[in-house]
Every structure is written in structure tokens, then in C-alpha cells.
């Protein structure tokens, strides 16, 4: 059955690849970008199956307007993919105030506003699927991506709560967590002003074999089939890694966390006081 898909950040990267995958199989797609001109090729190729919208996801009112336009134009919204995001690279001490606020506005609040705008429509339908593009860096982190991870950890937190809040309303929620992929995400990434005290940390990170192996970064086009399977699933998962690198590292990280919690559990229990 034809689905109506709403995708933010669809002018390039994952958003563009997934939009084309949906359109190729006959779905209707609402594509958004900060500049509508970046969506013109999709309209030229797929015609009336595409609704292009210029949207600043940090503008809450504009997000509500965009979802209403999507509903009015196609009659319903089946899947909402919160893909638009920005990146900031910098050690915690190096982060500037404005860039730190900007990434939280885009990655956290942008996803929140789109989600809030979609929920009344999905509730009224009694069905729908919200797909939140997080990251493997929303599960664990590395030096220099602290504020990016913070934004994605936050998306994971409210999305997990949302899943519990809406699971009996016919609304599915999935947090998608890609490992590194060879997209052009760097075009949306800001580099903080470096402090020389962290040069050794930077060097060690960039020389880490996990960062330099030939298959470190996945092929973004290969993710399209996974996303199609996800939105077609009768019972989609709450979380889905994309790529082969994320799960082994997540397992190692969680083993370390569990070991640390267990080691300090006596202190934890004493702190309860009863």
C-alpha cells in the first residue's frame, strides 16, 4: 500500500537517498530543506508524488505548519523521519557558546518540534511511525564529539519516553543509530577552535585503527533497503543500528558500564538510606 512519508533534511545525504527510495517504489513523499531549491531535482523527476517544503526545523510554528500542509496535500501522514541535523567537532573545553546552542536547537529541539507537530495527526489516524535519526554516537561517544553526542543522547531519551507514551495508540517509534557512513554530513558540521592542550588526544583519535580501516565508513546507499524494511515492519523495533561497526562497540561499552555499576553497587545501595 502506498505510504505518505515526511522527511526533514532531504536535500542531501540519508534524507535524499531515502526519499528517492520511497519515490522509486511509488510512495508519496514530503521533502523538506532549509532551501526549497535543493529539492527541485526530486520534483522534476517524480512530479506530483513529491511535496517540497522550505523548513527551518528550529522554528516550532513552521514545523506545525509543515505537517499540516503535508496532511492537507496528501490526506494523511504515515511515516515521519526526523533526519535533519548538524554536527560540531570539538573537545568539550573548545566548544563555543553559539555553536553549542545551535546544535541543540537543531538536533534536539528540531526533532522535538517535528514530533510534536506530527503526533496529533498520527493520533487522529490511529496509526503512524516516527523515525528519529540518532547515531551510534547517541549510544556511546568519542573525544571531540561530546556536544553532538549530547544532542543525540537527548533525542534517544525523549524518543524512548515517547515510545512508552504512544505504544497503545497505534503509533510506532524507532530510533535509528547509524555508525559512520560516507555521506556529505561534513557540509553541516562546524569545527570548534582547537586548544593545543588536546592535540595529543586528537592525534591518538585520528590514528586509531577503528577510524582508519578501509571499511570504517559504510555506503550510505546501502541503508535504503534497511529503511524500507523498517517502515514496512508490522512491529518495528524501538532501536535499529545501521552498519556493521556499531553493535560490537556498543556491546563492549555496555559491558564496561555494567562492570563499573556492579563494582560500585555497594556504595549505590548505601546511598538509598533505607
How far is CA 213 from its chain centroid?
Answer: 24
Establish whether 35 is a catalytic residue: no
Query: Could you say which of 100, 148, 151, 159 is catalytic?
Result: 148
Query: Could you say which of 3, 11, 149, 152 is catalytic?
Result: 152
Q: Strands, DSSP E only, in 66-137? A: 79-82, 87-89, 128-133
> Nearest Cα to 5, choosing from 81, 111, 114?
81
Establish whether 151 is a catalytic residue: no
Establish whether 140 is a catalytic residue: no
List, in order, residues 6 or more apart from 116 with CB less than 8 Å away: 60, 63, 64
Angle between helices 223-232 and 13-24 (to 10 degrees): 60
Query: Could you say which of 134, 151, 188, 192 is catalytic?
Result: 134
Would you list the DSSP string of 197-208?
GGHHHHHHHHH-
- Give the active site residues: 134, 148, 152
Amino acid at each position: 500500500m502506498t505510504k505518505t512519508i515526511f522527511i526533514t533534511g532531504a536535500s542531501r545525504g540519508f534524507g535524499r537517498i531515502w526519499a528517492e527510495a520511497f519515490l522509486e517504489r511509488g510512495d508519496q513523499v514530503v521533502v523538506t530543506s532549509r532551501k526549497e531549491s535543493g529539492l527541485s531535482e526530486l520534483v522534476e523527476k517524480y512530479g506530483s508524488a513529491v511535496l517540497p517544503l522550505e523548513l527551518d526545523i528550529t522554528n516550532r510554528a513552521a514545523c506545525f505548519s509543515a505537517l499540516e500542509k503535508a496532511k492537507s496535500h496528501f490526506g494523511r501522514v504515515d511515516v515521519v523521519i526526523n533526519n535533519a541535523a548538524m554536527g560540531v567537532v570539538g573537545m568539550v573545553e573548545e566548544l563555543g557558546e553559539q555553536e553549542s546552542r545551535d546544535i541543540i536547537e537543531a538536533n534536539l529541539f528540531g526533532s522535538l518540534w517535528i514530533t510534536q507537530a506530527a503526533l496529533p495527526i498520527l493520533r487522529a489516524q490511529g496509526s503512524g511511525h516516527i523515525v528519529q535519526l540518532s547515531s551510534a554516537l547517541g549510544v556511546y561517544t568519542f573525544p571531540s564529539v561530546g556536544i553532538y553526542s549530547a544532542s543525540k543522547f537527548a533525542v534517544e531519551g525523549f524518543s524512548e519516553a515517547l515510545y512508552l507514551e504512544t505504544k497503545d495508540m497505534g503509533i510506532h517509534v524507532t530510533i535509528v543509530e547509524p555508525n559512520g557512513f560516507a555521506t556529505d554530513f561534513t557540509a553541516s558540521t562546524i569545527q570548534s577552535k582547537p586548544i593545543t592542550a588536546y592535540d595529543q588526544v586528537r592525534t591518538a583519535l585520528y590514528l586509531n585503527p577503528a577510524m582508519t580501516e578501509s571499511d570504517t565508513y559504510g555506503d550510505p546507499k546501502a541503508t535504503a533497503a534497511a529503511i524500507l524494511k523498517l517502515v514496512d515492519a508490522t512491529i518495528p523495533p524501538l532501536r535499529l543500528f545501521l552498519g556493521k561497526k556499531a553493535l560490537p562497540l556498543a556491546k563492549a561499552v555496555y559491558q564496561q558500564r555494567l562492570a563499573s555499576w556492579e563494582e560500585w553497587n555497594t556504595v549505590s545501595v548505601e546511598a538509598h538510606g533505607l
